[in-house]
Structure 1
Amino acid sequence: MNRKSVMSVQVIFEPAKCQGYANCLIEAPEIWDFDEDDNRAVLRLSDPGDALRAKAEASARCCPAQAIRVEELNP
């Protein structure tokens, strides 16, 4: 059986850069939450797995403050 290798990803969040747009929460509510007291996003799931990879990448792309990035982990 020949299995396709799947790379895991990690979501990296820099809260100090967050400006409270909440675009990440709109793109990936499974991964993000929002702290209304601090007016910033809260990362709930740093290892989204393959099932949520596309949503993690979308949340990084849509962040105007560039406070989010998604990096592949070494196997």
Structure 2
Amino acid sequence: MKIHIDEAKCVGGGQCVLAAPDVFDQRDDDGIAFLLIENPGPELDEQVREAARLCPALAIEVDGR
């Protein structure tokens, strides 16, 4: 699985961090999301896909698996 966050779209809603805290975090200065793990293992697939679904700005793209 490969994840991409479009920082220009991200509004800092934090839903990704709530859904998949092992994969996503937010910058302290502006709240923009970033990846802790770029290629997470299959055990995190469900959480990552949920994070992408919950993103209010549709800023998360998931490819693979």
**Which residue in the other structure is 1:34 paired with?**
26
Question: TM-score, normalization: structure 2?
Answer: 0.91
Distance 2:60 2:32 in 1: 12
Name the residue aligned to 2:55.
63
Tell me how many residue pairs correspond in the alignment.
Answer: 65
Letter in 2 for 1:23: Q
Distance in 2 (CA, whole Å) between partners of 1:53 and 1:46 is 12
Q: Counterpart amino acid of 1:55? A: Q
Runs of 5+ unmatched residues, structure 1? 1-8
Q: Deviations over 1:5-51 (max 9, x none)?
A: xxxx1111111110010000000000011112022111111111101
Identity %: 35
Uncovered stretches (5+) of structure 2, i.e. residues with no partner: none
Q: Which structure has the larger Rg over C-alpha atoms?
A: 1
- Poorly superposed stretches of 4+, deviation over 4 Å: none
TM-score by length of structure 1 reads 0.80
